Amino acid sequence: MLLERIYDEDLAQASYVIGCQATGEAIVVDPRRDVDVYLDFAAKHGLRIAHVTETHIHADYLSGTRELATRTGAHMHVSDEGGLDWTYGEGFADAELLHDGDSIVVGNVLLQAVHTPGHTPEHLAFLVTDGAQADEPGFMLTGDFVFVGDVGRPDLLDEAAGGVDTRFEGAKQLFASLRDRFLTLPDYVQVLPAHGAGSACGKALGAIATTTVGYERAFSWWAPYLAGDDEQGFVDELLSGQPDAHAYFARMKSQNRIGPALLGELAPVAERSATSVRELLEADAAIFVDTRDQREVHEGTVAGALNIPGADRAASYGAWVYDPETEHRPLVLLVDDQVEAGRMRDHLVRVGIDAVDGFTRSLEGLPIVQPRLMQPEELDGLADVTLVDVRSRSEHADDHIPGSTHLSGGRALWHLDELPSDRPLVTYCQSGVRNSIVASALRRAGVDVIELDGSYAGWRRSTDREPSTSA
């Protein structure tokens, strides 16, 4: 058996390719939407991708299950657990529907579906048996059920899918899934989760790639609650302190359930001349994306530009500032070359931002403005602005600039009604990176925004004040 973890640092997301070298067949579990990485891996190892599946309807990225099946002819398998509200839509009409105990055979490798509700009602994990070596499972692909040191949060249906108090039932289901499905496995079973540190799908995900049932049984934060059969203690601890759910999660849930639009083989991103870009911008027919860091942006950027600083986090930050459900103008990227434009495009399609219409290498000939900045010492005694902290909820709770209100960056564009329109906003994050991104989106939406230069860290350096945890 060949097993490869393919990890996306941008979204802290893991997918897996499992191959049987004897028969040359392979299966991909939880693929992302830009699927060339799986095609390249299969070609390198002489494998044919015969099957593709996913553990659940994802909220933080668009699934590549349909894309990969269309490109390769692979057979799709998706969950039919969780009830009518959680069945897959028309894009999966050709998929095999999986129930608890069903199996997928990949040459000498067997994947057995295990219904593990809690994070979502339809969630499946997969027990993997390498038939060439053993007759019992040695691995469990846990999806968003069990992570290294954590479990999948059960509140995303409330936060992102329009649910009302589903978190409490979900937390109880997680407790039962841990007790009845996970902890009944031998300690040696290796756990292969779908996310790592940095994901918003849990609050305490570990940074190492894998764990075991035995290690989690002994050392996970939830282990004492299970050992003591303390369901209420588990529920209370699980639901406290979860990170913000980004607004774009609702769009991911909806599209992943129906079936994301198919991309096909993507052509290289075309380079546009400065004249072409200027004409598009003057006609309000495109949106300029400045991919430089905030220091360069502050020296001058295109009027109305969005700031998405580079390909490495383009999926994460792009989904904060561009909503394809309401914004239909294409994007023109400021990048050094076609390779970088392609990398950025590939990250953006992971969150359903498909409208990249070209790139340019410079700002020459384009209308330039300088974003408004405010120095930390200017905050003293200021009464005619609203100070907004765009960091995470937990960062704001730990300490913040006195008098600031909180609206996390991944939610700001969708909650403009929570911001006053009669005075400017002064926004800040920790160091200025997220602040520049969010401020660019707010400015484009017509909000009067001033960025706090240096953000929270700069304010702390400029003052002798102690951190504040008051509202």
pLDDT at 466 over 60: no
Lowest mean pLDDT among 77-81, 108-112, 207-211, 464-468: 464-468
Q: How confident is the model at residue 160 (pLDDT cuts 50, 70, 90)?
A: low
CA distance 121 to 196: 22
Please state the rounded mean pLDDT for residues 262-284. Answer: 96
Among the ranges given (120-134, 215-229, 240-254), the one the predictor scored with the smallest mean pLDDT = 240-254
Beta strand segments in 239-340, E: 287-290, 301-302, 306-307, 331-334
Confidence tier at 138 by pLDDT (50, 70, 90): very high
DSSP structure class, residue 32: B
pLDDT value at 63 more than 60: yes
Buried b (16+ CB within 10 A) or exposed e, 124-135: bbbbbbbeeeee
Contacts 24+ apart (CB under 8 A), 222-230: 222/150, 222/151, 222/178, 225/175, 226/175, 226/178, 226/179, 226/183
Give per-residue pLDDT as tens, 359-378. Answer: 999 999 999 999 999 999 99
Q: Are 449 and 423 in contact (CB under 8 A)?
A: no
Q: Tell me the residue ranges of DSSP E strands in 264-381.
A: 287-290, 301-302, 306-307, 331-334, 356-360, 368-369, 373-374
Taking 90 as the threshold, does the pLDDT of residue 242 lie above it?
Answer: no
pTM for the full model? Answer: 0.94
In the predicted structure, residue 157 carries a pLDDT above the cut 80: no
pLDDT (0 to 100) of residue 447: 95
Which of 339-348, 394-403, 418-427 is most confident?
339-348
**Terminal Cα distance for the chain, rounded:** 55
Q: Give the pLDDT confidence of 279-315 residue by residue, as tens digits.
A: 999 999 999 999 999 999 999 999 999 999 999 999 9
Does residue 381 register a pLDDT over 80? Answer: no
pLDDT at residue 469 greater than cutoff 50:
no
Instruction: Evaluate if residue 411 carries a pLDDT over 50.
Output: yes
- pLDDT tens-digit series, residues 423-454: 999 999 999 999 999 999 999 999 999 999 99
Question: Which pLDDT band holds residue 464 (cuts at 50, 70, 90)?
Answer: low
User: Residues 82-137: pLDDT tens digits?
Assistant: 998 889 999 999 999 999 999 999 999 999 999 999 999 999 999 999 999 999 99
- Answer whether residue 331 shows pLDDT above 60: yes
User: For residue 268, what are the CA distances in angstroms to 256, 290, 341, 349, 359?
Assistant: 26, 19, 8, 14, 11
Q: Which of 23-32, 152-161, 386-395 has the highest mean pLDDT?
A: 23-32
- What is the pLDDT averaged over residues 192-206? 84
The yes-or-no verdict on residue 467 having pLDDT over 70 is no
**Using CA atoms, how far apart are residues 373 and 227, in angstroms rounded to an integer?**
54
Dist. CA 468–CA 213, nearest whole Å:
41
pLDDT for residue 122: 97
C-alpha span between 389 and 257 (Å, rounded): 33
Residue 355: what pLDDT?
95
The pLDDT of residue 206 is 80
Mean pLDDT, residues 248-257 taken together: 95
Residue 470 has pLDDT above 50, yes or no: no
**Angle at 313 (CA atoms; ends 310, 315), nearest 5 degrees:** 110
The whole-number average pLDDT for the span 213-221 is: 97
Q: What is residue 410's DSSP assignment?
A: T
In this prediction, residue 383 has a pLDDT band, given cuts at 50, 70 and 90, of confident
> Over pLDDT 90: what percentage of the chain?
88
**One-character DSSP codes across 89-128:** -GGGTTSEEE-TT-EEEETTEEEEEEE--SSSTT-EEEEE
Domains of the chain: 2-258 (3.60.15.10), 274-369 (3.40.250.10), 373-462 (3.40.250.10)
Which two structure tokens, joined as six digits, stand for 332? 């023109």
